[in-house]
Amino acid sequence: MGEFSPTTRNGDCEEIANPSTTYGRRRRNWIDAHGSVPARQVVDASCGNKHCIALRHSYLRPRVEQPRKYPKIAERVHRLKIGQHFDVRGVGTDERSRNRFRSGLYAAARLDKVSVRGQADGSVCVTKVGEWSSLRV
């Protein structure tokens, strides 16, 4: 409950004065009550009120990936020379998140052979290791 950001009641909802901190507060309330938020999940408000932080209105749902995430990364890979690499942050350290990233990127990077290596800080190193021949079209 650390902060003294004032909250107001709105019907059944509890709203926070500073809307930009709503998500952080709602998430922290959830963690206080349930211990943790699983990877790739977000704490949303079931009442649909974006400013609501009431725990009884909070529920977990899977995070929605940006639809252009993998095509964008694939385009970046395509501009690399073979052997060059870059890091993508925030993928996660667990095997499931990494595999998910890997299959998403493999599907998007149809022109290039890529290698994806997970790193301890939750980022992954994406290396362009080759190009597919035009025969594969």
Which is nearest to 132 in space by CA: 104, 110, 116?
110
Q: Tabulate helix, strand, coil % of the chain (nearest 5).
A: 35, 30, 40
CB of 32 vs Zn ion, minimal distance in Å: 17
CA distance 103 to 29: 34
Per CB under 5 A, the list member of 57, 69, 76, 85 interacting with Zn ion is 57
Q: Which is nearer to Zn ion, 47 or 80 (CB)?
A: 47
Q: Output the smallest distance, CB 49 to Zn ion, in A.
A: 4
The CA distance from 7 to 10, in Å, is 10
If one asks whether residue 7 binds Zn ion (CB under 5 A), the answer comes out as no
12-20, 23-31, 35-43, 61-69 -> range binding Zn ion (CB under 5 A): 12-20
> Which of 16, 52, 53, 108 touches Zn ion by CB under 5 A?
52
User: Residue 49, interface with Zn ion (CB under 5 A)?
Assistant: yes
Please provide residue 135's backbone torsions phi and psi, each rounded to the nearest 5 degrees.
-60, -25
Footprint of Zn ion (CB under 5 A): 13, 47, 49, 52, 54, 57
